[in-house]
Amino acid sequence: MNNPRKENEVLLKVDNFSLDLVTENGNLPVIQDISFQIHQGEFLALVGESGCGKSVCSLALTKLLPSNLAKYKSGSILFQEEDIIQMDASEIQNLRGNKISYVFQEPFSSLNPLKKIKDQIIESFLIHKMGTKEEAIHKAEILLEKVGITDISQRLNSYPNHMSGGMLQRISIAMALITDPILLIADEPTSAIDVTIQAQLIQLLMEMKKQFSLSVLFISHDIALVSHMADRIAVMYAGQIVEIGKIDEVIDSPKHPYTQALLNSYPSSDDINKELEVIPGIVPSPLEYPIGCHFAERCKHKMDVCISRKPKSRHITETHSALCHLLEAG
Ligand code: SF4
């Protein structure tokens, strides 16, 4: 394995990280003081509605946002104890596509339509000087077989527009694995795919995680989906992580009203008569984040203090915390 794993290692440690997006309307505080960790071999799901900052966060982790638009304001992003924010372009290049790989939502837009699959899939392997072109192609063939692609030599010589979305997403997963990454960041990898093959792709990701001892940061709007596969969940709302904990802590005993509302908005196979909850309103724009709790406008438990003062993160257990004044009152 090109990138060795250390058991129980804290691989990624994000501490009090804040980031603004620079726009002509002013700086948007899209990430506000977030903290989380991912351990070796762990699957962390980052969930929340569209517009709450999940994708910006995932791109910011390896400085994938344009440098003129992203203003890293405070905090640190340590990967194997080295601060990504302080890394120069060559250090980042060495990390990205090597130790940290991405699978994006839309495989058609992340693959070059003018290049053969073969040339795209081996590119990172060659850039990171992991072996010869023959070795790269051999590894690509092995990975394509693992992700369930048939007629491999024909596929390698094809162009992306000759294939379905599901097949291209399998190829994207193989492409992300060719450098033996330690951390895979998957940003809504199944949401642009035909619903009939979403489950197959999720199953595939889980198998790849196990086979390659991968750590995974999985971005999703679907808390019900991730509740079946993650080790831990971080719930994001309006630029903040409002609750984080082990899967059973967050799913079975959610403490933040937003997490509770998200869970109540999905049907349950255990309770077919469950009345689904609608969360009123929409996620506020970063230009309009309130002084107090960001969820206050939509929260049915809102108190006066929620309007005037930001809640602080409180621990419920050693591994479970949430950002809500109700916990302070209790
Ligand atoms: Fe609701 Fe107040 Fe908690 Fe915010 S701090 S989630 S408004 S109870």
Ligand 1 midpoint to CA 283 (Å) = 14
Query: What global pTM score does this model have?
Result: 0.92
**Whether the Cβ atoms of residue 237 and residue 283 lie closer than 8 Å to each other:** yes
pLDDT, residue 205, reads: 86
Atom index in ligand 1 nearest the CA of residue 311 equals: 5
pLDDT, residue 1, reads: 66
The long-range contacts involving 241-248, CB below 8 angstroms and separated by at least 24 positions, are: 241/34, 241/35, 241/36, 241/323, 242/294, 242/295, 242/322, 242/323, 242/324, 243/320, 243/321, 243/322, 243/323, 244/36, 244/320, 244/321, 244/322, 245/316, 245/317, 245/319, 245/320, 245/321, 246/319, 246/320
CB 326 less than 6 A from any atom of ligand 1: yes
Ligand 1 midpoint to CA 302 (Å) = 5
pLDDT, residue 330, reads: 54
Atom index in ligand 1 nearest the CA of residue 302 equals: 7
pLDDT, residue 290, reads: 94
Whether the CA torsion 170, 173, 47, 25 is positive or negative: it is negative
pLDDT, residue 328, reads: 84
- Best of 256, 297, 302 for a ligand 1 pocket test (most atoms within 8 Å of beta carbon): 302
Q: Residue with the nearest Cα to atom 3 of ligand 1?
A: 324
Residue 100: closest CA among 13, 187, 215: 215
Ligand 1 midpoint to CA 310 (Å) = 9
Ligand 1 midpoint to CA 209 (Å) = 36
Ligand 1 midpoint to CA 299 (Å) = 6
CB 295 less than 6 A from any atom of ligand 1: yes
Q: What is the mean pLDDT of each run of 10 residues along the chain (330 residues)?
A: 76 97 93 96 94 94 95 97 95 91 85 93 92 95 91 94 88 92 92 75 85 92 89 97 97 96 82 78 92 96 96 96 87
What the chain holds in terms of domains, given with CATH numbers, is 10-99+181-329 (3.40.50.300)
- Best of 259, 295, 307 for a ligand 1 pocket test (most atoms within 8 Å of beta carbon): 295
**Whether the Cβ atoms of residue 16 and residue 33 lie closer than 8 Å to each other:** yes
Ligand 1 midpoint to CA 56 (Å) = 24
Atom index in ligand 1 nearest the CA of residue 296 equals: 7
CB 216 less than 6 A from any atom of ligand 1: no
pLDDT, residue 329, reads: 60
DSSP count for the chain of H helices, then E strands: 14, 12
Atom index in ligand 1 nearest the CA of residue 295 equals: 4
